[in-house]
Amino acid sequence: MYELLDTLRRDPDIEAPNLFASDTADRLVLDEAAGALSAAGPGEVVVIGDRYGALTLGAADAYALSGIRSHQDRLVGEIALAQNAERAGLSDRFVSLPLGEELLTGARVVLLQLPRGLVELDEIADAIARWADPGVVLFAGGRIKHLTRAMNDTLAVHFDDVRASLARQKSRVLVARGARRPVDAVPYPVLVPNAELGLVVAAHGGAFAGATLDIGTRFVLEFVDRAVETVQGLGPDATAIDLGCGTGIIAARLAERHPGLRVLATDQSAAAVASASATMRANGLDDRVRVVRDDGLSNQADRSAALIVCNPPFHVGSAVHTGVALALFREAGRVLRPGGLLVTVFNSHLAHRSELQRLVGSSEVWGQNPKFTVIASIAPPT
């Protein structure tokens, strides 16, 4: 029934023989929702957290649905969905939208790939209960190893009835009905004053580290002023980029301390970009920092930035995450002006220095503590 799922690709995300564009949780969600999808009319189905299009395109194809609204946090997932739809001739069956009222108004069926974080799940469940049709049914699937009892509890804050499906091929679906419309104002992004930073940090549910200061970020902040001094000879209107900005703490620090810099904060996550934008507004920095959603630095010209600061995603032992970090370093090497500087922080056991040397230029350790290493890499002068 879902032959289409076997044809999907992850591109532009990393592709490898052991990485797949759909999984058993996608199929189980589509099966558990079969009755609801068959009965749904145009514009009544919403998909949230689809990875590469399995849920959106699986529903469009198998149930001849149109007017599907889809929200994905990751830009690479959104691009993969668009490309998969193009190949399958299904581009006219869905639209991609941010998490919010336009996505959910009138929705009667919501398909969800459960996020890892409970705060992210809370924000999604709040949005569904707030804006979808009161009779909405949510089908939220995931691999059993990633599911926790706390996810049922989080859904139960927003829905009267939450039940788990039988497990199949190591996956399970939580089905939620009886949405309780919230009466309070939308609780996201949270705004938290951080005395150590002297900043208000804004965070949506899916943003890295929430509204807290990550310890790797804290360490790299110690080197931001030195980085700006090192590149100062490059002109007064130099551009500095916070690559993979999350809630935008590094960009805010750069803008606050160095009014002469043009600062760009960029991330592929919709939650990060919305959070960083809110952080800038909360600190009166929104006219000084441009925040954009981008995969790496794909919208930035070659040799256009004087300084890039990056706290890349890393996960111990994950080839995928190392690959993401290296892709970001490669992008930094392309976008830095001659003599420009990349300052990056990572877990000390990750041997990134030789890669930085190769992808950016001469690389020097600026700092090391028991957990993290900060390396400054200079792009060749010509």
Ligand X SMILES: C[S@@+](CC[C@H](N)C(=O)[O-])C[C@H]1O[C@@H](n2cnc3c(N)ncnc32)[C@H](O)[C@@H]1O
Q: Count CB atoms within 10 A of the CB of residue 249.
A: 27
Give me the least distance between CB of 297 and ligand X, in Å please. Answer: 8
Query: How many residues sit close enough to ligand X to count as binding (CB under 6 A)?
Result: 19
- Residues from 270 through 289 that contact ligand X (CB under 6 A): 272
Q: How far apart are CA 180 and CA 326, in angstroms?
A: 44
Q: How far apart are CA 98 and CA 274, in angstroms?
A: 10
Q: Which is nearer to ligand X, 144 or 209 (CB)?
A: 209
Is 217 among the residues that bind ligand X (CB under 6 A)? yes
Which residue of 239, 269, 322, 377 would you call a contact of ligand X, by CB under 6 A? Answer: 269
Q: Which is nearer to ligand X, 29 or 273 (CB)?
A: 273
Is 267 among the residues that bind ligand X (CB under 6 A)? yes
Is 252 among the residues that bind ligand X (CB under 6 A)? no
Candidates 64-72, 162-170, 186-194, 307-315: pick the segment binding ligand X (CB under 6 A).
Answer: 307-315
Under 8 Å CB-to-CB from 379, ≥6 apart: which residues?
A: 333, 336, 337, 338, 339, 340, 341, 342, 360, 361
What 3-state class would DSSP assign to 312?
A: coil
Is 249 among the residues that bind ligand X (CB under 6 A)? yes
Locate tokens 């009138």: which residue?
106
Give me the least distance between CB of 156 and ligand X, in Å please. Answer: 29
Is 56 among the residues that bind ligand X (CB under 6 A)? no
Locate tokens 């591109």: which residue?
11
Q: How far apart are CA 63 and CA 113, in angstroms?
A: 19
> x/- site string to ligand X, residues 318 to 357, per CB under 6 A?
------x---------------------------------
Locate tokens 């990349």: which residue?
342
Q: Count CB atoms within 10 A of the CB of residue 214.
A: 16
Binding site for ligand X (CB under 6 A): 208-209, 214, 217, 244-246, 249-250, 267-269, 272, 295-296, 311-313, 324
